[in-house]
Structure 1
Amino acid sequence: MSLPENTLLPSGPLSRRSALGLGAAALGGALFAGKARAAGQDEAIAPPSVISTPPRIWGPDAPVSFTPDPDIIFYDPSFSAVILDNAPLVQAWKGRTLWFEGPAWSSDGRFLIVSDVMGSTQYRYLPEERSMTVFRKESYHSNGNTFDHDGRLITCEHGMRRVIRWEHDGRCTVLAESFEGKRLNSPNDIVVDAQGGIWFTDPPYGDRLWEGHPDAPVNGDPGKGNLTWNLDLEATEQIGGLHHQETHVFHLDPQTLKLTSVLTGADLAGPNGLCFSPDEKTLYIVSSEKGAASPKGGGYRNIYAFDVRNGALTNQRVFADMSLGGHKLMPDGIKADRLGNLWVAANGPLGLCGVFVYNPAGKMIGRLRLPRSVSNLTFGGTQRDRLFMCAENTIFTLDVATQGAGLS
């Protein structure tokens, strides 16, 4: 029997008894589904959900796809304008990777690029074959990716603390690696505007050994991770000896490669995902900081909107506060569709995590309920009407009745 929509499963560690209970429920559901199939009674199975008992079965072993999908939840009639009634949420791929991020669609190659940040590998996903292949190893803990107007891949690297571009002849061009004499922190997410300008966030989230470039010790203080810095000089120059600087959101001129700070940590704490509105008059930026506000008020896991004028950002305001069912979720990657709706990767408790969808006025019109937190997402496919969602070691997809705005 399905639980009420906002019912939550335990968010903390499960006891042995709870774990056994959940396992028994899942086993019972699998046996019931098997008996129903054997008896030719698939139509009698109630539509499952990630918070129902037994839980929904994802992946190729799922007995049937229910449409309309019970995990596509409507809060406003306008959501129906972007949702196809006969298109279910699909677990397109799952494997032995660690943490997918930075999905970017190549219109020329017709494939999806994703970064396994902790695995320090870029992968190429082919939707038609549902196959995943290694695209680049070592990727220096790459995170955000995008393609420019010439189809060249632009990547944010945590490990090297830089933004790079891969040319068509295989050369690597370093676009940005320092600002005012100091190396960047850990470039996170990135977008390209209609003029070819590059915008990216540079929070300190990648200054950890397992997903980037940890800071060198200061006055004997090992810093984050309690690392022991006993490397030789050559190794230290490659993966050590750097210190983070102030948080920024940057604009990079594609011709001169001049790097300009458009926001600092004093304006917005923990900048993460970012994207433009379809007309590029508004830039949306996520704050992923929990309970940490900047002196000017930007933070607390909100999504902020800014007016864009002549390469500068003005009129900072809260677009959405990412609250649902009394819970404050953490936003991460964001993308806009052609109608101006904002699709937001939501991290939070089971039953609430997945993707939130807001209209241009900042009202939540619907959401996609998934069995795990989503880190980032993008639109792709030959008509840019397929939503790709990265969730840990899994790619989920949904065919929609709209198209993505921008390049990726």
Structure 2
Amino acid sequence: MSAQMPLFDDAEVSPLVLSRRAAIATGFGFACLMRRNASAAATATPSGSVSPASVVSQPARQWGAGAPPAYLPDPDVIVLDPSFHDLTYFAAPIRRLWDQGGWLEGPAWSSEGRFLVLSDVIQSKALRYIWETGEITQFRPEGYAANGNCFDFDGRLVVCEDFFRRVVRWEHDGSVKVLADSFDGKGLNSPNDIVPHPDGSLWFTDPGYGDNITEGHADAPGGPANRDGRLRWNIGRELIGEIGGTKRQSDHVFRIDPDGSVKAVLQEVDLHDPNGLCFSPDYKKLYIVSTPKGPGQSIGGDQAIHVYDVNGSTLGPGQVFADMRLNGVQMNPDGIRVDVFGNLWCGASGPLGLCGVFVFNPAGKLIGRLRLPQGCSNLTFGGPKRDHLFMCAANSLFVLQVGTQGFAPS
């Protein structure tokens, strides 16, 4: 995202329209407004009214320690349909918890441990956010450029490791098991996102975004992501054993069966550059994001969210659920999750003023947005009640308490 990109204003429903619950708390809202009047972050208009600082205001909203108190309702929580009011909480502002990352991905909530696991892909760190203290700590000393994470139905952590181009699971006894590192006699690309199914299977996407020196490692010489062999593909980590895949193959969406076998449920011809994915709450649908072309590709995805019927261990024909266009601009979707009502929450990158989180109802209608100062790569619901939306956005971790709950497990 460039600082020179244009700013956009939303002409839809105002973010300051109070919900029925908010109207009951008129006195509270008035007190917040008075406090905001005294804040330097609020901008006085010629008429004397006060406009709260937001992502697109000048000066822009401040974040973190030392920032003025947040205006409520948050001006960057944008209601596009009245139904979105029921999914938000008027007295909760978007908060930035941390901004010392490189490129953050793969947030997953541990209900048992009450912590959030997340990956810093380009710094190859496995991190943890602790609920009780609000600290970000090292989870493991080496993350192997991990990307997506999830906890399975037995509470075990499953990790997509870009550097080793594999999927691993951490067992309850502390050992690690490789679940997938090849298909059809070829190494994987760079497993990206993964979700569990109650039948014991795991479903994951395998685009090639980690097949570069920034997010994993390049191909061996001659591979699609290192055709002329100039990149020194096998340096940068202290390794034990062999690197997994060494040459990029076609993109797939895979299912790891309970017996350990790896099967392709979608081929590259079906969907280019698959990225984020999640099931509907009844597990009858699988949503998958298609994103721009990765290293070694000549054709990229269409930057839309697709939906497929789940037929046991296979998928039916897909269709576009949301084209991810807003105000004439093609956004780039990434990670997705659903809440208990089946609404889909999607992290998106694009111009300042448009990027953040898009929220669709089960019919595919855009009903609300969360505006962030950076594109959102991935997100999940967490907290003891699963009513906090954690958002990874470039080097930062944001959170918003919401009026719904995430569908578990994350």
User: Do both proteins adopt the same fold according to a TM-score greater than 0.5, normalized to the shorter chain?
Assistant: yes
Q: 1:81 aligns with which of 50, 71, 86?
A: 86
Q: Are residue 245 (structure 1) and residue 249 (structure 2) matched? A: yes
Q: Are residue 403 (structure 1) and residue 400 (structure 2) matched? A: no
Q: 2:357 aligns with which of 355, 358, 369?
A: 355
Relative to structure 1, the CA distance from residue 35 to residue 360 in structure 2 (aligned partners, 3 Å threshold; closer, same or farther) is closer
Q: 2:375 aligns with which of 370, 373, 380?
A: 373
Name the amino acid aligned to 1:114: L
5 Å-filtered alignment, 1:92-241, equals 92-95=97-100, 97-218=101-222, 222-223=226-227, 226-228=230-232, 238-239=242-243
Cα pair 2:336 2:347 within 8 Å, conserved: yes
Partner of 1:333 in structure 2?
335
Partners of 1:221 and 1:263 lie apart in 2 by 22
Partners of 1:82 and 1:135 lie apart in 2 by 31
Q: 1:60 aligns with which of 65, 68, 88?
A: 65
What SS does the corresponding residue of 2:221 show, helix, strand or coil? Answer: coil
Deviation at 1:222, TM superposition (A): 4.2
Partners of 1:311 and 1:219 lie apart in 2 by 31
Cα pair 1:163 1:175 within 8 Å, conserved: yes
Stretch moving more, 42-51 or 74-83: 42-51
Deviation at 1:149, TM superposition (A): 1.3
Name the amino acid aligned to 2:195: V
Stretch moving more, 264-273 or 54-63: 54-63
Partner of 1:305 in structure 2?
307
Cα pair 1:93 1:130 within 8 Å, conserved: no
Partner of 1:345 in structure 2?
347
The superposition leaves residues 74-117 of structure 1 with CA deviations (integer Å, 9 ceiling, x where unpaired) of: 1111111101111111112222x200000000001000000000
% identical aligned pairs: 54
Relative to structure 1, the CA distance from residue 387 to residue 221 in structure 2 (aligned partners, 3 Å threshold; closer, same or farther) is closer
Cα pair 1:153 1:165 within 8 Å, conserved: yes
Cα pair 2:118 2:128 within 8 Å, conserved: yes
Deviation at 1:315, TM superposition (A): 2.5
Deviation at 1:193, TM superposition (A): 1.1
Cα pair 2:105 2:121 within 8 Å, conserved: yes
Partner of 1:287 in structure 2?
290
What SS does the corresponding residue of 1:379 show, helix, strand or coil? Answer: strand
Name the amino acid aligned to 1:5: D
Deviation at 1:218, TM superposition (A): 1.7
Name the amino acid aligned to 1:272: N
Partner of 2:267 in structure 1?
264
Name the amino acid aligned to 2:341: L
Partners of 1:393 and 1:105 lie apart in 2 by 19
Relative to structure 1, the CA distance from residue 235 to residue 162 in structure 2 (aligned partners, 3 Å threshold; closer, same or farther) is closer
Deviation at 1:395, TM superposition (A): 0.8
The superposition leaves residues 216-251 of structure 1 with CA deviations (integer Å, 9 ceiling, x where unpaired) of: 0129994389414697xx979745881111110001
Q: 1:46 aligns with which of 51, 59, 62?
A: 51
Relative to structure 1, the CA distance from residue 64 to residue 217 in structure 2 (aligned partners, 3 Å threshold; closer, same or farther) is same
What SS does the corresponding residue of 1:243 show, helix, strand or coil? Answer: coil
Relative to structure 1, the CA distance from residue 138 to residue 222 in structure 2 (aligned partners, 3 Å threshold; closer, same or farther) is same
Deviation at 1:4, TM superposition (A): 6.3
Q: With the length of structure 2 as denominator, give the TM-score of the two structures.
A: 0.84
What SS does the corresponding residue of 2:386 show, helix, strand or coil? Answer: coil
Partner of 2:366 in structure 1?
364
Q: Which has the higher helix share?
A: 1
Partners of 2:180 and 2:234 lie apart in 1 by 29
Deviation at 1:61, TM superposition (A): 1.6
Deviation at 1:198, TM superposition (A): 0.1
Partner of 2:3 in structure 1?
none
Q: With the length of structure 1 as denominator, give the TM-score of the two structures.
A: 0.85
Cα pair 1:215 1:240 within 8 Å, conserved: no
Partners of 2:112 and 2:203 lie apart in 1 by 22
Partners of 2:394 and 2:359 lie apart in 1 by 20
Name the amino acid aligned to 1:203: P
Partners of 1:324 and 1:151 lie apart in 2 by 38
Relative to structure 1, the CA distance from residue 328 to residue 241 in structure 2 (aligned partners, 3 Å threshold; closer, same or farther) is closer
CA-atom RMSD in angstroms: 3.0
Partners of 1:224 and 1:154 lie apart in 2 by 34
Name the amino acid aligned to 2:272: A
Cα pair 2:107 2:117 within 8 Å, conserved: yes
Partners of 2:409 and 2:124 lie apart in 1 by 24
Q: Which runs of 5+ in 1 are unaligned?
A: 8-32
The superposition leaves residues 338-392 of structure 1 with CA deviations (integer Å, 9 ceiling, x where unpaired) of: 1110000011110000000000010100100010000000000001111000011
Partners of 2:112 and 2:239 lie apart in 1 by 38
What SS does the corresponding residue of 1:146 show, helix, strand or coil? Answer: strand
What SS does the corresponding residue of 1:57 show, helix, strand or coil? Answer: coil
Q: Which runs of 5+ in 2 are unaligned?
A: 1-6, 12-34
Relative to structure 1, the CA distance from residue 250 to residue 131 in structure 2 (aligned partners, 3 Å threshold; closer, same or farther) is same
